[in-house]
Amino acid sequence: MSAREPLYSVQRRERIMDELREHGAVSVSVLAAQLGVSELTVRRDINTLAQQGLVTRVHGGATLRSSLDTGMRSTAAPLPAKYTIGMVVPSLDYYWPPIVHGARAQAAQLRASLLLRASTYDSRDNRRQVEALLKTPGLHGLIVAPDTLGDDAIETLRWLDSLPVPVVLAERRVRTAAAARRLDSVASDHTAGAALAVHHLHEVGHTRIGLFIESENPTGRYVRRGWSSALDSLGLPTDVAMLHGIRFDAPGREEAMDDALALLKSTGTTAVIVLPDPQAIALEQHALDRGVRVPHDLAIVAYDDDVARFGDPAITAVRPPKEFVGREAVSLLIARLEAGSSRPAYRVTLSPELHVRQSTLPASIDAAGTAGTAVEGDQTA
């Protein structure tokens, strides 16, 4: 059934629960677009599910219910929450739901209640959401994901470091220039993740490996650094296709993707890493429409692995450990609460994984384009 066809209320709520089980959190605006209904209708459905004890309403969306949520039905009375943690994330749709899900799961295990607020990538909005949480009686600490690269980043980090409760940055790094002494952080090692992709493509026979990045993606600078250093360490050529600021989902997309394919051809680039997934899928589909075979003429690795498996052929992808970022953020915060000011600041990085699929199967990269050995399924490197 198409997302634009009318759905009965029960069907809509089933779809909402399916999204929650997969991602841990949902956004009202995204659900409204997917279901083809108004945001008011989605809010009413979420209210109904909340009244049934199935979900928890949060600012801008909903999350799966935790055993620590007030009023949760249980055969045994749950232990009261020991800590109250506020969490502000820039999105409840792409990338962040698994991080939220991991944080909620870890909070439940460690007897903490998690108060979630959705922000945007705008620093002022992020600050407003943090300030709103600070007004919560009995708040013990915060997990936040502010912009750490923009013009106001240093000031924001210093402000967070000065707050009366401990703060952990999730999927963000503490910049040295901020001189923040108390901030903890946990982030995926995207530099290592990009290097994984380069080494994999080299192992299956490619020497000219390019990179396409969406401009506003905060992961981009680390992926580019990992890609560049891996090319250098392997002694691979660097005069390959590189684009920063791709928008294969915007007006003029076909012309942009034609230009990208022309750049790949003119530079002899036979493999490309694309950040993020939706841009990789768009490029793959366009390449196939233009007669460029994947992986025989062009191998593609996506970075993020949220939707890469839905490509046809399924796209090999680097998967950051998102759920574990959420879990570790909660663990770091509670460890600081229990150890006090004597605990040094922890700056933790977690390694991504490479999931090998059909878009990078060993294949001929010469003019003949003879297919190599087929591999079935999804492998983890």
Strand pairing category for 83-89 and 141-144: parallel
Tell which phi-psi region holds residue 252, choosing left (phi > 0), alpha (psi between -120 and 50) or beta.
left
Tokens linked to 230? 């891996």
- Across the 381 residues of the chain, what is the mean pLDDT of every consecutive 10-residue run? 54 80 80 85 87 80 67 53 93 86 89 91 88 94 90 90 96 89 95 98 96 86 96 97 93 95 97 96 96 96 92 95 94 93 92 95 52 41 48
> Which tokens sit at 273?
């890493």
Instruction: Find, among 202, 199, 209, the residue nearest to 264 by Cα.
Output: 209
Output the pLDDT for position 363. Answer: 56
User: How far, in Å, CA of 163 to CA of 166, rounded?
Assistant: 7
The pLDDT value recorded for residue 6 is: 55
Q: Tell me which DSSP letter residue 329 carries.
A: H
